[in-house]
Amino acid sequence: MTKGIAGIGEDYKYGFKTPEKYVFKSKKGLSKEVVEEISHLKGEPDWMRKFRLKSLEIFLKKPMPWWGGDLSDVNFDDIYYFIRPSDKQGRTWDEVPKEIRNTFDKLGIPEAERKFLAGVGAQYESEAVYHNLKEEWKKKGVIFLDTDTALKEYPDIFKEHFSTVVPPADNKFAALNSAVWSGGSFIYVPEGVHIEIPLQAYFRINAQNMGQFERSLIIAEPGSFVHYVEGCTAPIYSTNSLHTAVVEIIIKKGARLRYTTIQNWSKNVYNLVTKRAVAYEDATMEWVDGNLGSKVTMKYPAVFMHGKGAKADILSLTIAGKGQNQDVGGKVIHMAPHTSSNIVSKSISQNGGRSSYRGLVKVLKGAHGVKSNVKCDAMILDDKSRSDTYPYMDIDEKRVSIGHEATVSRVTDEQLFYLMNRGLSESEAAAMVVSGFIEPIVKELPMEYAVEMNRLIQLQMEGAVG
C-alpha cells in the first residue's frame, strides 16, 4: 500500500496557506488575561465573562483523559487562542477580505452556496468572516448567525439555552472551549418550519499553532426540520494545531435534525470535540459523522433522549491513515420509554493508521420498550494498521432489546479474484470492495461529498494493493 484513501499527506489538496494579515492575534498560551482579553474584545455581557473565567478554572483542574488517543504532544502553552481575521463580517462574498475570499473560493464554498445551500457561514481562525441566509428562510423566522453575533442580537434565547446541554465540567476539553470559545453557528428553527435544503458552515484554520474553539448552538422548535452540514480543513504545518469545538443541540417535540460533519483537517491538527443533542418527545436526531483528516480525533456525538418516542441515528465513517488516530464513536442515553437508537460505524485503517470505535448505549431504569442496535465494521487494509472496538452497554431496564455486532476484516483474495475475473484491474477491484464497504454511509452524505468520497477512494487505491 503506497498511498492513503483519505487524500491526506501528499494528496491533501486543502493544505495551502494564505499570508497572515490579521486584525488581532493574542499572544501564545492560555491565562486569565487571555480569557479576559477575548471577552473584552468581543464586548460581551458580564455573565459570559464570568462563565469563561469559571470554565478556565475547571479546565486547569481537570486531568487529561486516560483513555483514547495519545495527547502527550499537545502543548497548551504553544497555541494561539484567539485570532481576529477581519474587522467586519461579510453579508456578500465581495465584502470579505480578498485573501480570505480566495481561500474559500479554492475550497469551492461560494459555488456550493449558489447551487445547493440555504445558507452559509464561513469561519476563518477564530471568527466568522461571512454569514448569509437566503431571504425566503429569513422571512420564515429562521435565524442562522455566527454564535458571537447571536449573543448580541438574541441575548434571551441565547442565555436560556447556552451550556444547558454541555456544561463546562463535562470534560477537560469542554471546559477549555467554554473558557475561550469564539465563533461557531447559531441556528434557530421556528415551530413547523422545514428547511428543505441544507445550511452549511465551513471552518478553516490558516495560522500555524492555531487553536480554533468554535461553539455551536442549534435549537429546533416543535415539528421543525433542518439539515446542517459542516466541513473543515487546514494547511499542513510541522507543528500542531488544536481544534476543540462544543456543539449543543436541542430538538423539541416532533422535530428532526440532521447534523453532517466532514472532518478533513490536515494531519497536524488535534481534533477534540464534544457534540451532544437533547431530544424531546418524538424528536429525531441524526448524526452523520465523517472523519478523514486530523492527527488525533476524539469525538463521540451523543444523544440524550429525554422524551418518549425519541429517536437517535448515528452514522460514523472513519478513515485512519499514516500517523492518524481516529478515536470516534457515539453515545446514546435512553432516559424515556420507547426511545430507539441505531449506531452504524464503518472504519478503514491503512498505512499504519489506527481507528477506534468507542461507544456507549445506556438505558436508565424506567425507560422500557427501548430498542437499540449497534453495528461496527472495521476494515484493515495492511499489516501496519490497527483497529479497536470499545462498545459499552449499560442496561438498567428489563423490557428492552439491545443488540451489538462488530466485525473486523480485510479485502480478501476471493473478492479480488472474483472482480478481476470480470475484467477489473487489481486496484479497481480493491477500490470497489472498499466503496461497497462504506456505501451504506456514503449514500447518506450530501451529493457533492458522496461524489468526492468515491473519487478519492478510486484515486488512492491505484497501486494500493500489493
Partner 1 sequence: MKVQNLITERSVAAGEPQWLKEKRLEAWQKFQEIPLTDTDNETWMRTDISKLNLSEIIENTVTSIEPSAFSLQPSSNNGIIFTDIKSALFKHSDIIKKYFLTKYPLTDTERFLSLHTALWRDGVFLYVPSNSALKTPFRIISNMKSRAGNFPHSIIIVEKGGKASIIEENYSADNGSQVLMGSMVEVFVGEDAELNYSYVQNLELNAYNIPIRRVYVEKNGKINWTQVDVGGRLTKSFTEITLKGRGSSSNVYGIVAGSGKQHFDISPVIYHQVEETKGNVLIKGVLSGSARSVFQGLVKIDKAGRKADSYLANHNLILSEGARADTIPKLEIDIGDVSASHGATVGEIDSDQLFYLMSRGLSAAEAQEIIVNGFVEPIILNIDSEELREKVRNIIADKLK
Helix, strand, coil distribution of the chain in percent, nearest 5: 25, 35, 35
Closest to partner 1 by CB, 216 or 427: 427
* Helix (H) / strand (E) containing 263: strand 256-263
Question: Which of 343, 349, 304 lies closest to 327 in space, CA to CA?
Answer: 349
Q: Are the CB atoms for 356 and 390 separated by under 8 Å?
A: yes
Closest to partner 1 by CB, 117 or 376: 376
* Backbone phi and psi for residue 392, each to the nearest 5 degrees, phi listed first: -110, 130
Question: Which of 375, 370, 376 lies closest to 402 in space, CA to CA?
Answer: 370
Q: Are the CB atoms for 5 and 461 separated by under 8 Å?
A: yes
Q: How many other CB atoms are found less than 10 A from the CB of residue 166?
A: 23
CB of 101 to partner 1, least distance (A): 44
Closest to partner 1 by CB, 48 or 406: 406
Residue 61: burial class (beta carbons within 10 Å; 0-12, 13-18, 19+): exposed
CB of 433 to partner 1, least distance (A): 13
* Helix (H) / strand (E) containing 419: helix 413-421
CB of 393 to partner 1, least distance (A): 5
Exposure on the CB side of residue 411, measured as CA atoms within 13 A? 27
Closest to partner 1 by CB, 76 or 390: 390
In this structure, what DSSP letter does residue 31 have? Answer: -
Closest to partner 1 by CB, 128 or 381: 381
Closest to partner 1 by CB, 25 or 386: 386
* Backbone phi and psi for residue 119, each to the nearest 5 degrees, phi listed first: -170, 155
CB of 366 to partner 1, least distance (A): 9
CB of 98 to partner 1, least distance (A): 47
* Site of interaction with partner 1 (CB under 8 A): 66-67, 349, 378, 380-383, 385-410
CB of 355 to partner 1, least distance (A): 10
Closest to partner 1 by CB, 211 or 359: 359
Q: Are the CB atoms for 51 and 174 separated by under 8 Å?
A: no
Integer CA distances (angstroms), 401 to 108, 283, 357, 393, 407, in order: 45, 20, 21, 12, 20
CB of 165 to partner 1, least distance (A): 24
Closest to partner 1 by CB, 322 or 386: 386
CB of 382 to partner 1, least distance (A): 5
From the centroid of its chain, how far is CA 196?
21
